[in-house]
Amino acid sequence: MAKDHGNSIKDDEQYEALRDEGMSKEKAARIANTPRKVAAKHGGEAEPYEDRTVEELRKQAAELEIDGRSTMNKSELIDALRNH
């Protein structure tokens, strides 16, 4: 049985599975708190990171509050976004 993480986590079982896979607490919580219908509807529609500009990647990194984004090059930004 999944541990109860309180009101901050909507799907405790999914959160724990994602953490077991090595995801950060923030990313696991974001995914576990997204309603499955919304996630399924929006999945796969985003433009690949490699096709975005450095400016677009920095904007995304800013939204996720990734430290050091202003000095990162494109490959570092992609890595940081994928592993956040």
Count how many Cα atoms sit within 13 Å of the Cα of residue 82 in the half-sphere of its side chain: 9
Please state, as a whole number, how many other Cβ atoms lie within 10 Å of the Cβ of residue 79: 12
Q: In this structure, which amino acid lies at residue 5?
A: H
Q: Helix 54-63 to helix 74-82 angle, to the nearest 10 degrees?
A: 30
**pLDDT value of position 47:** 82
Please state, as a whole number, how many other Cβ atoms lie within 10 Å of the Cβ of residue 9: 19
Structure tokens belonging to residue 24: 């950060």
**pLDDT value of position 15:** 86
How do residues 18-60 score in pLDDT, each as one tens digit?
888 898 888 888 888 877 644 545 556 678 889 999 999 999 9
Please state, as a whole number, how many other Cβ atoms lie within 10 Å of the Cβ of residue 21: 8
**pLDDT value of position 36:** 62
**pLDDT value of position 46:** 74
Report if pTM > 0.75. Answer: no
Domain residue extents for the chain: 7-42, 49-82
**pLDDT value of position 66:** 93
